[in-house]
Chain A
């Protein structure tokens, strides 16, 4: 694809259910980021994958959140036992070669609503 693709675009789930959010980065990009954006708020860092290195998970807000990246490409962010405060737009971004000084390209985001 031409850009970073995220699915689903919108997700409504009941409190207590688990959800999986998917990110397809730009082909060949080795760095992948997940951010969370609550209504009218900034970009909150969640997790960062850099090539074959151990991911930086320092932004995950609780142990209900986890993410994996299979084969260095597609990433899945999983939220277990969702809470209403998890409602936000979840943005994925990728950058080429994992090097510094390179632009991060964002997907269109997944809007998660927990009811």
Chain B
């Protein structure tokens, strides 16, 4: 089955700096890679996703890059703000008989210091 590894587990930055979180996956049939943000005590919510037919996608201060050959994708947050502090999860979907199944990385606790 799919295995998703996420690094780092914790990340601390100063307000205004950039933050980068990286994930690798194992299933070459994966073609959908969402990123979720989970604030303390709340449910995970989608912030951005990328499909395998593109290498990069940007939405304001958030961008995601995908390298299918190397099986890794990354989340980039620029001009970080204190409200970006949360746990971020990457995920990859599955092919085959469990197509659509999402496997998540272990999460990254991002802390943005004012």
Contact = CB atoms under 8 A, between A and B. Distances in A.
A53 B99 CA distance: 11
B43 A45 contact: no
A98 B43 contact: no
B114 interface: no
A101 B31 contact: yes
Contacts of A43: 44, 89, 104, 107
A53 B97 CA distance: 9
Interface of B: 1, 6, 31-32, 34, 36, 42-46, 49, 51, 89, 93, 95, 97-107
Given A33-B101, A50-B98, A56-B97, 16 more contacts: A41-B106, A42-B89, A45-B101, A45-B102, A48-B98, A50-B101, A53-B97, A91-B43, A98-B100, A100-B31, A100-B95, A102-B32, A102-B100, A103-B46, A106-B44, A109-B43
A58 interface: yes
Q: Which 9 A-B pairs have the closest CB atoms?
A: A43-B104, A42-B106, A106-B43, A101-B32, A56-B98, A42-B107, A48-B101, A103-B46, A100-B100
Interface of A: 31, 33, 35, 41-43, 45, 48, 50, 53, 56, 58, 91, 93, 95, 98-104, 106-109
Most buried by A among B36, B43, B46: B43
B43 A42 contact: no
Contacts of A104: 34, 46, 102
A106 B45 contact: yes
